[in-house]
Amino acid sequence: NIVLTQSPASLAVILGQKATISCTASESVNKFGINLMHWYQQKPGQLPKILIYNEFSRAPGIPARFSGDEAELNFTLTIEPVEADDVATYYCQQGLTFPLTFGAGTKLELK
Amino acid sequence: QVQLQQSGAELVKPGTSVKLSCKASGYTFTSNHMNWIKQTTGQGLEWIGIINPGSGGTSYNVKFKGKATLTVDKSSSTAFMQLSSLTPEDSAVYYCARKDGYNPFMDAWGQGASVTVSS
């Protein structure tokens, strides 16, 4: 199985500053030149929502404050500037092979 | 718009089975595969399996083979997941989540169904 290691487990950020969340894959998630890595946001008490798919493509309605990047097997979700509404847990997920796997999550709080 | 309406919370006894439902609306049910995901506080999000509503074909996470059975009823646009031989470790929130038409991510989620296994 492809293991996704997310860090940090929790993150406290000042309003208006930048949040960076990392997700390292145990092996390549690339298919035909596209990294099949996706990011979800889950607010407290709510269901998960897709933010970024295929490494850097924003889902419909997602603001440009959210961006995805990749360096080797290390994927990054950046939120800048952070707003109060961004308090949530963020998960990465690989879509290359079954079983689909998720990172353990990063809880974002305001400092 | 796309909606996935899941059945309500269940309180069940160990050793029994439970069948969860996920009624889809706002799109052609057979056009998108349906995933099922387990969420617990300790284990985070775990993918259980996926079903093709058009053919009934399924793929399961090995961890959940024998535990979960995925089916659909095309006439009512409803996906089902039966969980068998329940133990307290099966207590969790279970989500159905639609696979995007072209890419392997989940573009719509049900509201989740809580299952509590307790005697």
* CA triple B118-B5-B86, angle to 5 deg: 20
Q: What is the mean pLDDT of residues A42-59?
A: 95
- Say yes or no: A75 contacts chain B, CB-CB below 8 A: no
What integer pLDDT is reported at residue B102 of this predicted model? 86
Average pLDDT per block of 10 residues along chain B, 119 residues long: 96 97 98 97 90 97 96 98 97 97 92 96
What integer pLDDT is reported at residue B104 of this predicted model? 86
What integer pLDDT is reported at residue B43 of this predicted model? 74
Subunit contact A59:B107, Cβ cutoff 8 A: yes
Best probe of the A interface among B6, B39, B105, by most A CBs < 10 A, is B105
What is the nearest CA distance from B4 to chain A, expressed in angstroms?
12
Nearest alpha carbon to residue B69 among B79, B78, B77: B79
Q: Are B1 and B106 in contact (CB under 8 A)?
A: no
A 10 A CB-CB count for B105 gives 26
Q: Which residues of A touch B104 (CB under 8 A)?
A: 36, 38, 95-96, 100
Which strand (E) or helix (H) includes residue A77?
strand A74-79
What integer pLDDT is reported at residue A2 of this predicted model? 97
- Say yes or no: B61 contacts chain A, CB-CB below 8 A: yes
What integer pLDDT is reported at residue A96 of this predicted model? 95
Q: What are the tokens at A38?
A: 């996706």
Subunit contact B103:A36, Cβ cutoff 8 A: yes
Distance CA B47, CA B59 (A): 11
pLDDT in tens, A65-78: 999 999 889 999 99
Q: What is the mean pLDDT of residues A27-37?
A: 94
